[in-house]
Amino acid sequence: MRKLFFAFSMCMLGLLVYSCSDDDQPGYDLSQVKIQLVYPEGSGCSATEGVEVSLKSTSTGTVFSEKTDANGVAQFQVPRGIYEASASEQRVMDVEVYLFNGINSQVNASTEQVEAVIRLEMSKGGSVVIKELYVGGCPKDDGSGYLGKDQYVILYNNSSATIDISDLALAMVNPFNSQASNKDYVNGQLFYAAEGWIPAGNGCWYFESPVTLEPGKQVVISMCGSVDNTKTYSQSINFANKDYYCCYDVEDYSHPAYYPTPSELIPTSHYLKVYSYGLGTAWPLSNSSPAFYLVRPQGTSLKEFVDNPANENMYGSNQVRRKVPVEWVVDGVEVFAKGQANNKKRLVPSIDAGYVEMTAKMGYTLYRNVDKEATEAIPGNEGKLVYSYALGVDGATDPSGIDAEASIRKGARIVYKDTNNSSQDFHLRSKASLRN
């Protein structure tokens, strides 16, 4: 009997404890929360499906995540309380990558139905960058001089989205050398900086066929000597590769030393063509100190821009230029001749606030530094990154310590530094990456 009474008492106590526990914890009431994403006026962006929105409890730290519907609304069912709502989106518009970020730190989910907004702010993200610029040439094997007609550029998709680069063009500023006399300086300032444009000297190269780049992928463009140069010059570049592109348009630039018939392995669909408006039979990209940049026209075609006389500017009496709006420039790199005291900038600070020094004729190349933090944060890179980078030269190196090319060969994805300042973004590398 006592055993039966004891068992009954324990059951009643359990029910009492359960009832009290349930009554004393009111936080289990739920709230239906709707979060509306609001895009900046004038951004050209509207609501889209699939953007992840997070709700973080300010009391417990618990995070709930949902994705937006076609109207840009994310719906949650969460315990009542105070939440911080946040959202991030990356969107590709033309060739540019834009970032949308927003936060609402006071979402009061204290009632059954709650509606709140996140006002997004827009910023420009990294997209296509100049990964490498090889222009200085290499020594001839017999020691008689150097080969300077084996230049190339590598364009790289630094973003996490696939990008169409078909409407990009290659351009350069004249004066072509940093140490040359520069008539564009008026009272110590580049006169065109105040007018919002940058000169494009001699001509602009463009793609004739569609070209897309997946995240972390690149395109190699041989700008002259698009053959296997290593047959004659062992320290030069072999451009005989079916995946490479080349600048070749003998109707406008016919100099045979610069433009021999490209390797048969390069498809003709990979030939870049040129809108030429300057003198000479070749594109005179400097071997020692170019100011090189990428252009994407907006609101017009490259041909219409080039053909419009309103866009013409003369440098001196015989050098024809085009006035490229600064906002059209996707990326640029200012190169100074190392050891020269009279170097002058040609790119405006919004394109490149610094410069990278180069020693020509030695087979060296200008290589973009790795963004260490962003690269190490990429899922799947663990164990694939190679450190102890040792290819810097003339006192230059990659501060990250990551050997990008060796890491890529191991399957890593690299994010390169992009601060619009070549002093921070580039270094002089002892060997062209295409020689690895």
CATH of residue 90: 2.60.40.10
Q: Which helix (H) or strand (E) holds 425?
A: helix 422-425
Tokens 């992928």 found at: 217
Among residues 45, 61, 50, the alpha carbon closest in space to that of 119 is found at: 45
- Is the Cβ–Cβ distance between 14 and 7 less than 8 Å? no
Domain that includes residue 326, residue range: 128-369+416-435
Q: Is residue 275 part of a domain?
A: yes
pLDDT at 161: 87
- β-strands 146-147, 81-93 pairing: unpaired
Calculate the CA 333 to chain-centre distance.
13
In a domain, 380, yes or no: no
Examine the domain organization and report whether 198 and 68 are in the same domain.
no
Tokens 């068992």 map to which residue?
7
Burial of residue 321, with CB atoms counted within 10 A of its CB: 0-12 exposed, 13-18 middle, 19 or more buried? buried
Q: Mean pLDDT in runs of 10 for the chain (436 residues)? A: 42 42 56 96 89 92 94 96 90 77 91 95 83 98 96 96 95 97 95 97 97 97 98 97 98 97 98 96 98 97 98 96 96 95 93 95 98 93 97 97 98 94 96 93
- Look up the pTM and report it: 0.81
pLDDT score for 58: 86
Q: Could you tell me if 435 and 237 are in contact, meaning their C-beta atoms sit under 8 angstroms apart? A: yes
List the Cα angle 169/174/180 in 5-degree steps.
Answer: 145
> Residue 3 falls within a domain, yes or no?
no
Judge if 239 and 148 occupy the same domain: yes
Q: Are 96 and 153 contained in the same domain?
A: no
For residue 387, tell me if it sits in a domain: no
Q: 105 - beta bridge partners? A: none
- Beta bridge partners, 108, equal 82
Nearest one of 339, 346, 18 to 177, comparing CA atoms:
346
CA 426 to mean position of chain CA atoms: 13
| Domain co-membership, 101 together with 240 | no
Phi, psi at 405, each rounded to 5°? -65, -40
Q: For residue 109, is it within any domain?
A: yes
Indicate whether 174 and 229 sit together in one domain: yes
pLDDT in the model for residue 28: 67
C-alpha 159/C-alpha 174 separation (Å) is: 30
Token pair listed for 58: 């300010």
Q: Can you give the pLDDT at residue 34?
A: 97
3-state SS class at 126: coil
Q: Domain boundary residue among 125, 154, 185?
A: 125
The answer to whether residues 177 and 313 belong to one domain is yes
